[in-house]
Amino acid sequence: MTTALRLLAALAAGLTFGLGLSLSGMLDPARVQGFLDVTGAFDGREAWDPTLAFVLGGAVSVAGLGYALARRLPRPAFAPAFDLPTNRRIDRPLIGGAALFGIGWGLSGLCPGPAVAALSTGALPVAVFVAAMLVGMMAHHRFAARA
């Protein structure tokens, strides 16, 4: 019973995430890149697009309320325990990985959530990006196994 509820909860959360991305405009690579294009505003070539800041602000606020509530609960509704990251170090893999991710994000206007969600649109560029992303993830898996 709990297993079925857990599957259903994951499906509902995933669907809510995908609907939120769709409504927010963040599936649109031009809009995302427009947010990252801060120099465009300075030289007046094109207006800076602040939408991403509204999306992030709305998301962090609501998630923050949920997490504050979670801290008061002994355990999640359908699982034995909260599964939280324990690594608190700000180290070179964290910064180097985030820097590499930012380059790819800036080049394409795509990050993992919107890219995976947009697979349902059937757009070829999305499929190509996601395929390359999976290869990148597998490459890291090998790299990490050797290191």
Using the rule CB under 8 A, is 105 a contact of another protein? yes
CB 18 within 8 A of CB 117: yes
Using the rule CB under 8 A, is 41 a contact of another protein? no
Nearest approach, Cβ of residue 45 and another protein (Å)? 7
Using the rule CB under 8 A, is 47 a contact of another protein? no
| Residue numbers 60-79 binding another protein by CB under 8 A | 60-67, 69-70, 73, 75-79
Using the rule CB under 8 A, is 103 a contact of another protein? yes
Site string for another protein, 106-125 (x = CB under 8 A): xxxxxxxx-xxxxxxx-xxx
CB 35 within 8 A of CB 51: yes
CA atoms of 133 and 111, how far apart (whole Å): 9
- Cα separation values, 118 from 53, 58, 73, 81, Å: 21, 21, 34, 32
CA atoms of 89 and 109, how far apart (whole Å): 28
Nearest approach, Cβ of residue 61 and another protein (Å)? 6
